[in-house]
Structures are given as structure tokens and as C-alpha cells.
Chains A and B, each alone.
Chain A
Amino acid sequence: MTDEATKTTPLYEEHRRAGAKIIPFGGWLMPVQYTSISDEHQAVRKNVGIFDISHMGQLIASGSNAREWLNRMLTNNVDKLEVRGGQYTFLLNQNGGIIDDLIVYRIEAEKFLLVVNASRVDEDFAWLQAHILPDVELTNRSDSYAGVAIQGPRIGELMKAILGDDFELPARNTIADAELNVMQLAVARTGYTGEDGVEVFFDAKYAPAFWTTVLEKGKPLGIRPCGLGARDTLRLEMCYPLNGNDLTPEHNPLEAGLGFFVDLTKPNFTGREILAQAKEQGLKRRLAPFRMQGKGPPPRPHYTVYRGDEKIGEVNSGTLSPSLGYGIGMAYLPTEHAKIGTELQIEIRGQKFPAVIEKKPLYKKQA
């Protein structure tokens, strides 16, 4: 992906002041780490961490026909959402390929919030607008909203410290309103780390004040600001896919192992026929999670995957797992090579290193 990063979030100056290392990501200048990816990762697994997710996009769909229309545009079943409920879902092209993965919240009976990937905002909006129906209004609110993800086992304590002892976390996958002084907050019990946590959205002008408050209140709980580096290692330990790496228009959600978020019983949605057909014929490839065996360098995207002498694919996501201490990754492999326990070799700088396919998630939380 060519990355001409020009945009900055309302928290950019906070990141600079905290000494973050800044990288281009999805057209944005974002913090990759503040101190160390491993330390930030462990803060989220053991205590709590805060991430700037203001780069993500927010689209609002409303109107008497919005629910019906979204059910045609998205793979999951919007009818299952009560007001305040949210669900993970996909926006597909006519070939069943993935344009974006997103969360849709039903914020009112006839009003929906779509939280989409930063690099896909314009594409999603253009696609949706091109397929709009009467009695639906679609607006792009990405520039007026900022957001943070606050993730980790101490989230409950932290939110009470910020919002008062009476505050209760919303149920999983739901979104609730909250107030902090003049700030209106939308608090969603979701995340991308495998830990309990929330994603909070608010008017962009409040971003520095809210960020600072969370860090202050979180200090006694061991909070750390966390960058995209830790966001990537945390999500990959859970085998959550990353748009662009693991999800592209060349892949469908079934191959990605995310059929749970595709409701093929819905009569009509973009890509449905092709997915139903693919399922019936048997999937040709699968996104397989793997771990490296023995000492060796961590796997990285595009490294070649072998089984014996046969090249069978390439790595889509790979890193050193800070929780586990060994290399982990995911790769699309032909179905016959994608079974749990299959021994693989990953070619790294001309040398092959042993790996094995595991069940997801690669990291399991200690009880």
C-alpha cells in the first residue's frame, strides 16, 4: 500500500509531547509506540492501556429504510440488533471480496453508526452512496469525531474513576451515552485486543482533554498510552484480522474463518450468491494461524510458506508475540494444508524455519 500520510488526529500533539514514534498508517500520521511495544502490550494484558483510534471512520445511516438497506449492504444480520446493540460485519463487493470490516451500532431505531477502517473511509462511503436506496440518508462524520480505545482487565475500575462510582460498563457489544463535564461520550464495550475494554467516541474538540483525563485517572492503575505496534501484536495473538493484511478484495470472510459474521440465511445481500456457492463447493483456502517452533526470527508479511519443498502460500500477518515469546502469524493456505497441527516452514532470508498450524486464538488468557 502506498501511504501518503498527511492527516493528523486531534491527539497528534499529545503523542508528540509524550515522545511517541510516529509512522504513516492508512493515510494518517499515527503513534507506533511511546516507549516499547512489549511494555505497552503487557500493560494492556495486565492493567490497562489507551489507544488513539481517531483515524477510524464514522458513517451514519438513518431513515425509515436504513435497516433494510444495511441488511443488503452488510453480511451480518442488522435485524438482530436491539437499539444500542452492535455487531461485527463485512462490506463486500459483487464478487464477495472484502471492501471493509466494520462494526455497526444501532444507535436509534432508525439510525445506525458504522465504525470503519481509516484507510477505507472514502471507499466505503463512495460504495455505499452508489448503492443507496430512497429514504436512507448517509453521512460521513469521520472528521468531526475523535475516539480512543481503553483496553485491559482494569477497565471497570478506571471507568468508575473517570465517570463516577455509579457508572456501569455497557453490556458487551453495546453502546451507551455518558457525560463528563461538558463532554458527551458514546461508550462501546468492544475492542481489538482480546481484553475487556471500551471504545469511546466524542466530538473531536474534546480529544486532548479526554485523553489527558484518562491518563491521569489511570496512573494509579498502571495505564500506558499504546501505539499501533502494540495494537498489532495484541490483535494478532487473538487472530483478529487486519484490513489490508488479512482482509482484501481478493479474500472473502468465509476463507478468513469469519463465517459467524455472515448470515447466509438473509435473502439478499451483496456477495451472497458467490459466498453461498463457495461454501457449497468447499473453500479452496483458509486463513491459518501458526506459531514458530524453536528459536528463530519472527515471521513477517510476504514471507513464503512451504510444506516440504512445495510453496503453499505467503504470510499475511506476522510478529513476535510479546505474551508468548515466540513468533506467530496467519497465512492463507490451500485448505488441504490448513489443518491444525500441520507442520510448515517459513522462509526467512533464504533459510527455512519450522512452524505449525494452531487453533485460534494463539494466545489464551490464563484463568
Chain B
Amino acid sequence: MSNVPDDLFYTESHEWVRVEGENARVGITDHAQAELTDVVYVELPKVGTQVEARTATAVVESVKAASDIYAPVKGEIVEANEALSSNPALVNTDPFGEGWIFVVKMSSPDDAKQLKDAAAYRQATG
């Protein structure tokens, strides 16, 4: 059974969101990294980019395939995890910690609350 921390929000496309004031830190879930396995490259968004919710914002590549990572909320990219450039496998080894991908400054901080909570995400990935 994959790990689903209770203090995070989740999307149907398997991103997690940690609300940090007006910012949303985003990564992919343990379930998602287990499905992808062997992350070998992460294409990060540029800081300053405006993103809409549910638009492709980053790309995570495994040996087998490239997968889009979607912005869970609308806003501006204020940080991207440069550590992934030299060590993309952090997405596998620590998906909810060192393996975070980007931070969005939310246009409307209430947007995060529209996302799934841990119980709903657990149910969805059953």
C-alpha cells in the first residue's frame, strides 16, 4: 500500500500539494512514483511562469516514458527543485520530501481546498 500523508491535498492526476501560506508546494505521490519507477529526468518549469490549474507544467521521464505533471492550482511558479537536475531519483526515494518539483504562488489560496484530501485520494487509488 502506498503512502498517503494526511496533511496534504491531492489531484486526480496524482500530484500532491502542501499549502505553505499563499504558496503551494507540488510533487507526485508515492503511488505515482511507484507506477513510473526509475525517474531519470525531470523537466522543471521556469520561475516566473504563470500557470493555469490542470495544465502541463513539468515533465517527469522514466526509462520507459515521459509523463506530464499538472499544476494543481492557478498561480505563478516561484520555485523549482534544481536538486532534481542532478538527482532525479529523489522523486522515487522521497516523493513527499526532497522529491518536490515546484512551488506555485496561488492566485487564490482557497483553490487548494477544492482538491482531494488524503481519504478521498486513498479511495480514488484504492
Contacts and interface: CB of A to CB of B under 8 A. Distances in A.
B41 A297 contact: yes
Interface stretch (B8-16, B61-69, B71-79): B61-69
A33 B37 CA distance: 9
Interface residues of A, number: 18
B59 interface: yes
A63 interface: no
Contacts, number: 40
B37 A37 contact: yes
Contact of A38 (B38, B65, B85): B38
Contacts of B85: 295
A298 B59 CA distance: 12
Contacts of B35: 21
Nearest to A227: B64
A36 B37 contact: yes
B28 interface: no
Nearest to A41: B63
A31 to B, nearest CB: 12
A37 B64 contact: yes
Contacts of A229: 63-64
Given A295-B85, A297-B59, A349-B59, A32 B38 contact: no
Interface residues of B, number: 14
B101 interface: no
Contacts of A21: 35
A296 interface: yes
A300 interface: yes
A213 to B, nearest CB: 28
Interface in B19-67: 35, 37-38, 40-41, 43, 59, 61-66
Interface in B94-109: none
Nearest to B85: A295
A296 B41 contact: yes
Contacts of B43: 297, 349
B57 to A, nearest CB: 12
A300 B66 contact: yes
A298 B41 CA distance: 8
Given A33-B37, A37-B63, A297-B61, 8 more contacts: A37-B37, A37-B62, A38-B63, A297-B41, A298-B61, A298-B63, A320-B40, A320-B61
Listed from nearest, the 3 A-B pairs whose CB atoms lie closest are A37-B63, A320-B40, A297-B41
28 contacts: A21-B35, A33-B37, A35-B37, A36-B37, A37-B37, A37-B38, A37-B62, A37-B63, A37-B64, A38-B63, A229-B63, A229-B64, A295-B85, A296-B41, A297-B41, A297-B43, A297-B59, A297-B66, A298-B40, A298-B61, A298-B63, A319-B63, A319-B64, A320-B40, A320-B41, A320-B61, A322-B63, A349-B59
Interface of A: 21, 32-33, 35-38, 229, 233, 295-298, 300, 319-320, 322, 349
